[in-house]
Amino acid sequence: MENDQGKLVDLYIPRKCSATNRLIGSKDHASVQINIANVDEQGRMTGGTKTYAISGMVRSLGESDDSINRLTTTDGYLKNVWSYQK
């Protein structure tokens, strides 16, 4: 919710899991949020970051490493790491 000046005044803004697009609840203490920095050709940070939120359900299933590999490959951070298998 916003006030008259246009500032957010909510006490809690829920996050969405990057792997499943489900809402991460406030009581999900197993969830993690990972920020990956954008870098240039020399490996120096350019100032921007990409945020991935992984829910506790995905982590408990042991799928968080595969999910992060899939997400970063589709965003262009990794190459030839993740491939779709039926």
* CB 32, CB 59: distance < 8 Å: yes
Query: How many distinct helices (H) and strands (E) make up the chain?
Result: 2, 4
Q: Rounded to an integer, what distance in angstroms lies between the CA atom of residue 59 and that of residue 40? A: 31
User: For residue 45, what are the β-bridge partners?
Assistant: 39
What pLDDT is stored for residue 10 in this prediction?
Answer: 80
Say which residue, 8 or 48, is predicted with more confidence: 48
What pLDDT is stored for residue 35 in this prediction?
Answer: 95
Q: Rounded to an integer, what distance in angstroms lies between the CA atom of residue 41 and that of residue 10? A: 40
pLDDT digits (tens, 9 = 90+) for 21-69: 999 999 999 999 999 999 999 989 998 999 999 999 999 999 999 999 9
- What is the DSSP code (8-state) at residue 27? T
Rounded to two decimals, what is the model's pTM? 0.79
Closest of 23, 29, 18 to residue 73, by C-alpha = 18
pLDDT digits (tens, 9 = 90+) for 40-52: 999 899 989 999 9
Q: Rounded to an integer, what distance in angstroms lies between the CA atom of residue 36 and that of residue 43? A: 13
What pLDDT is stored for residue 80 in this prediction?
Answer: 79
